[in-house]
Amino acid sequence: MKEGLEQTLVLIKPDALRNSLTGYVLSLLSEYHTGLVFAGVKIVHVTTMLAAEHYAEHRGKIFYASLIDYITGAIHYPTAPEKQRVVAIIYQGPEAVTKLRAIAGPTNPHQARDQKPGCIRALGTVAPLKNTEGKVVGERMDNLIHASATDEEAQREVKLWFRPSDIPPAMHAYTTRESGDHFYFKNGRLLSTHEQGSVLIAAPGDIVWESDLSALEEIRSSRPSSIPLDSIVAKYLINR
Ligand code: AMP
């Protein structure tokens, strides 16, 4: 991270949009109240691919499937796919991660109400998760916003949701590099030349996150990559 450019990723989730809490949440997160500045904002229709990469650490857990349904908007807008979206925001400034976590509050809305009345997640809810026999096997936490947990997570998440070109260059916190090659994506595979139905990820001259470009080069030459291909391409497929 470049000095003085601490960043964090915030997602205003579908339950906040559904309950018309977006304006309220944004007021609490205003530059005036937080001392942080907006570095990037976009409305994102969350694909399963993006959701799966964002919540990769929860894969296999009892609540995983409902978490994916939740963040993709399938729970709060089951019959209105055009409304299935989140507001993704990068906040930048001193202690960005800590400040946003404090305003968001504890993950579980019940605990948020007990421990920190007034925090954003105190306005959330917890829904029971049932198995096919109707037995409660876990819970889904509809907690209105996501805020990166650590600086390391913030870096991973900012690069997962945003391309360098979504952020003013002077606000880039992470290293970028100019691509010298074409990279295309089709059916889970990386291609060097265009094929019918492939999507252009990067072309010569495009500014790409350095870590993504290194990973693309590794994948292209069949070397092990530290970043899964889906994690790189998901942001290039946003809103396509
Ligand atoms: P985290 O990665 O800790 O930010 O958690 C991501 C999201 O997963 C949370 O906002 C919750 O919606 C959900 N979640 C985390 N832990 C649990 C849990 N133990 N039970 C149900 N949902 C959870």
Domain identity same for 30 and 129: yes
Residue numbers in the chain where pLDDT is lower than 50? none
Tokens 């930048």 sit at which residue? Answer: 92
For 151-204, what is each residue's pLDDT tens digit? Answer: 999 999 999 999 999 999 999 999 999 999 999 999 999 999 999 999 999 999
Residue nearest to atom 3 of ligand 1 (CA): 107
pTM of this prediction? 0.96
Backbone angles phi, psi at 73, to 5 degrees: 90, 0
Total structural domains within the chain: 2
The parent domain of residue 58 ranges over 7-163
pLDDT score recorded for residue 3: 67
Average pLDDT, the chain: 97
Determine the atom of ligand 1 nearest the C-alpha atom of 149: 4
What is the bridge-based pairing of β-strands 136-142 and 125-130?
Answer: antiparallel
Assign residue 66 the CATH number of its domain.
3.30.70.141
Same domain as 123, residue 24: yes
Q: Is the domain of 131 the same as that of 191?
A: no
Last residue within a domain, chosen from 163, 186, 214 = 163
Name residues contacting ligand 1 (CB within 6 A).
58, 63, 67, 107, 138-141, 143, 146, 149
Neighbour tally for 198: CB within 10 Å:
16
Residue 4 pLDDT: 72
Most informative mutation of 53, 67, 119, 121 for ligand 1 (most atoms within 8 A of CB): 67
The answer on 210 and 116 residing in a single domain is no
CA dist 112 and 109 (Å) reads 5
The rounded distance, in Å, linking the Cα atoms of 186 and 220 is 13
Domain ends where: 163, 185, 211? 163
